[in-house]
Chains A and B, each alone.
Chain A
Amino acid sequence: MAFVNLKNKEIQVKIVYYGPGRGGKTTNLEYIYQKFRNRINTEMVTVKTHGDRTLFFDFLPFDIGVINGYDVKIQLYTVPGQVKYNATRRLVLRGVDGIVFVADSMAVRREKNILSLKNLQENLSNYKKSIFRIPCVIQYNKVDLLEQGIPLLPTDILEKDLNSQLKRPSFQASALKGTNVVTTLKKIISMTVASIKRDLK
């Protein structure tokens, strides 16, 4: 639910990074935070457990400048990926405008990806939103693990599992090394802003 402030000429947009636990959602945000440190004038907020796992969410406000005379403020959130935290996951999705689904490319995580995507669909329907209509980008994370000899799922299998019906833009990425992190971010921002523009017409 983007908010348009006609007085300050400002639009606030909420983008949520969703996906299975230990998939790299927080790492995506940490990379963005490091990369654009000079443009982000607040600290990244993170609510995590002692074991360094996301408990509630991470939050990173990000100013992308002026589009059509409006100052666009992007608010990036992550959800806790662990299955048991569904209640908090659902809270973070409230008022979401765009989603990045961070899938784990490791072969052993195949089922977790599929379950997490189903869970996203259920939680969105809770807010009367459809995964088929909301702007969404899929990221196949951890491609860097191939160098270490860890078995990864081939892209066509990932596409078949997660994107055969959705047909959304998808990127192979390494959140740790930064590969395609910014590409993913740019894509979701442009899709979300375009969707808000359509909404407001």
Chain B
Amino acid sequence: MATKKMALIATKGTLDMAYPPFILASTAAALGWDVQIFFTFYGLQLLRKSLDSIKISPLANPAMPMPVPMPVFVQMLPGMESMATMMMKDKMKKKGVASLQELRDICLESDVKFVACQMTVDLFDFQNSEFIDGIEYGGAATFMKFAGESDVCLFI
């Protein structure tokens, strides 16, 4: 049986949206799949050496369950984002959900290939030294090459 392939595009840099690409990639790798993730725009945040700055915001996120109802003007106050992030991480830990760092490490250990979008790296003036080692830099053509041969292809 030919090895299955999955190609993902990760475009978001918030805590909630960072999970799907890493969960799918680590799982597919455990199933023996070849996996490549193309990180572009805000998804580049997921390649930074430290993932500590990845946050979740209740603002403009009305579906996020809150312990108490919170009007939008309160959600705007300084520190609310950090507080929401802290509470979410705490809840995740209690429920046995892996940290982003752990999932990313599993992806790297299991040979998931990370590709950073060169155009958005330049757009946001990132330095390659800000990102983890072992990643590749490329553009849409690089992604299409792998995506064209993939069995599963998702834009996240």
Instruction: Report if A and B associate in a common complex.
Output: no
Residues of B whose CB lies within 8 Å of any CB of A are none
Residues of A whose CB lies within 8 Å of any CB of B are none
